[in-house]
Structure 1
Amino acid sequence: MRFHYLFSLSFAVFLLQGCSSTTTTPPVQANDPFYAPPIPPIAATKIVEDGGLFRAQTANSLYSDVKARRVGDIITVQLRENTNASKSAATATSRESGVELSPITGLGGNAINIGGQAIQLGINGGTEFSGDASTNQSNSLSGNISVTVVNVLPNNNLIIRGEKWLTLNAGDEYIRLTGIIRPEDISPGNQIESSKIANARIQYSGTGSFSEAQQQGWLTRFFNSSWWPL
């Protein structure tokens, strides 16, 4: 009885470890402070008693544009992501071996018999292995998302970050984006393509019952994990 108890306890601990290794990341929540738009500090208004209405701090040049260039400015990202990948591999090995032992002969060159049968031995063996694997993957993402400038680097490159949430009947869909862009790549309409974002991190997923229905249960994840010996 003690052996069965220890075996059951060990198996339970092993099962819990396997389940803990296959847990998914915590669900994503809206209003994450990391993706919140920064609020630039409000500069103190300088009062100049010159009797005029012109203010140099808020004035724009006749040749200025609407491109984002400061912290807190908004820029529209055009998502045009298309990826295709394929890979295949094939392996085949074969080996054959054989050992033959002729009948044992005695005096006079006659074969030694036991029960009327000559003593001889023959062994034949062979191994064969073949493997074939292939994988194909394609992804496509299109749309627009407006993000904000969170930092301006010393070389005038802009760090952008933002998210978009859509509440649907069966849950929430969200898009999150971070990266670095060059002011030269921004179009006159204050837009930039996602392919021109450096160090881009684009997340598109969902939450709620619709997303949970596509996830495997904890026991299925355990049997599909590396903890399962078979």
Structure 2
Amino acid sequence: MRPHVALLLLPLALSACGTAEALSRIGRPPPMAPITDPTRVAGWRPVSMPMPGTQDAYASPNSLWRQGSRTFLRDQRAAAVGDIVTVLVSIADEAQLANNSDRTRSGSESMGIPQLLGLQTSYARVFPVPIDPSRLVEATSDSSTTGQGRIRRNETVTMRVAATVTQLLPNGNMVVDGRQQVRVNSELRDLTLAGVIRPQDIASDNTVRHDRLAEARITYGGRGTVSDVQTPRYGQQVLDAILPF
């Protein structure tokens, strides 16, 4: 098969795959993902972070206090791999940026050689039309550029997500990973988050704010009937990628 023919048939193949997948979901809502061990998901790998120097641990004889404890009673906050901590996601970002630029430049150049070693009398034999030696070269230029840009963004996401501690770092910080799915009718909403938290930032009710997560990765999206309507078709996406105008 010639390359250009294969290129033309590629959008049809992609469309057929998407159509078959859509037909297989007729009459059924989007399936929810099974509960799995986050460390066994393809692409997962342990987090490596800069660590402070090690400190020697010491024991306190004849004392009920245990080093690292926060209270004499049992602490219910997450502290080990497999524990669950609730992350409070409250994002209310707003940004507005406006920029205007205006540039204008004009120039004019003129040059003439009225007398050049007496050769000005020979101009008529060299050039087909009569010329004025005092106006041999004249050039003018005029340019103008105007630009205007504006960005306005407003995002609000408020949710509570239970995340699992997947790793303990040498300095005591914990790597958490959480996922939440909510299906309403035929629309599935998916929220995932990951990051590194300090034990000191976990409140007494075993919650931590999302802005306390280092290297935070928070995604919120969905799939289903509404998302399918809002997503451009494969053919339109291919044309948007290859058309130069």
Fold similarity call, TM over 0.5: yes
**1:177 corresponding residue in structure 2:** 193
Q: Any stretches of 5+ residues in structure 2 without a counterpart? A: 15-29, 42-70, 115-129
The CA distance in 1 between the partners of 2:5 and 2:107, in whole Å, is 43
Tell me, yes or no, if the aligned pair for 1:36 and 1:162 is still in contact at 8 Å: no
Amino acid aligned to 1:78: L
Contact 1:28 1:207 in 2 (8 A): no
After TM superposition, list the pairs within 5 Å mapping 1:41-120 onto structure 2. 63-98=73-108
| TM-score calculated relative to the size of structure 1 | 0.63
- Alignment correspondent of 1:31: 34
Amino acid at match of 1:13: L
Q: 1: CA distance between counterparts of 2:218 and 2:178? A: 10
Q: CA deviation at 1:28?
A: 10
> CA separation of 1:15/1:84 partners in 2, compared to 1, >3 Å: closer, same or farther?
farther
Distance 2:146 2:4 in 1: 38
| Same amino acid, percent of matched pairs | 24
Partner of 1:149: 165
Match of 1:46 in 2: none
Amino acid at match of 1:85: A
Contact 1:72/1:149, CA 8 A, preserved across alignment = yes
Compared with structure 1, are the counterparts of its residues 201 and 34 closer, same or farther at alpha carbon in structure 2 (3 Å cutoff)?
farther
Indicate conservation of the 8 Å contact 1:35/1:163, yes or no: no
Q: Note the residue ranges of structure 1 that are not aligned, 5 or more in a row.
A: 1-5, 21-26, 39-60, 105-117
Alignment check: 8 A CA contact 1:37 1:150 kept = no
Match of 1:13 in 2: 7
Helix, strand or coil: the match of 1:213?
A: helix
Give the distance between the partners of 1:134 and 1:68, measured in 2 at CA: 45
Q: Any conservation in 2 of the 1:37–1:148 contact (CA below 8 Å)?
A: no
CA distance in 2, matches of 1:15, 1:85: 43
**Residue 213 of structure 2 corresponds to residue 219 of structure 1:** no
> How has the CA–CA distance of structure 1 residues 11 and 228 changed in structure 2, closer, same or farther, with 3 Å as cutoff?
farther
For residues 92-147 of structure 1, give each alpha carbon's deviation from its aligned partner in whole angstroms, at most 9, with x where no partner exists: 22233457799x9xxxxxxxxxxxxx988987653322111111112111121111
> What one-letter code is carried by the residue in structure 1 that aligns with 2:92?
N
Q: Determine if contact 1:76/1:191 at 8 Å carries over to the other structure.
A: yes
Q: Deviations over 1:35-81 (max 9, x none)?
A: 3799xxxxxxxxxxxxxxxxxxxxxx951221010111111111111
Normalised by the size of structure 2, how large is the TM-score? 0.60
Matches within 5 A, 1:101-140: 126-140=142-156
Larger helix proportion, structure 1 or 2?
Answer: 2
Instruction: Calculate the aligned-residue CA RMSD, in Å.
Output: 3.7
Mapped pair 1:229 → 2:230: no
Residue aligning to 1:47: none
- How many residues of Structure 1 are paired with residues of Structure 2 in the alignment? 179
What's the counterpart of residue 124 of structure 2?
Answer: none
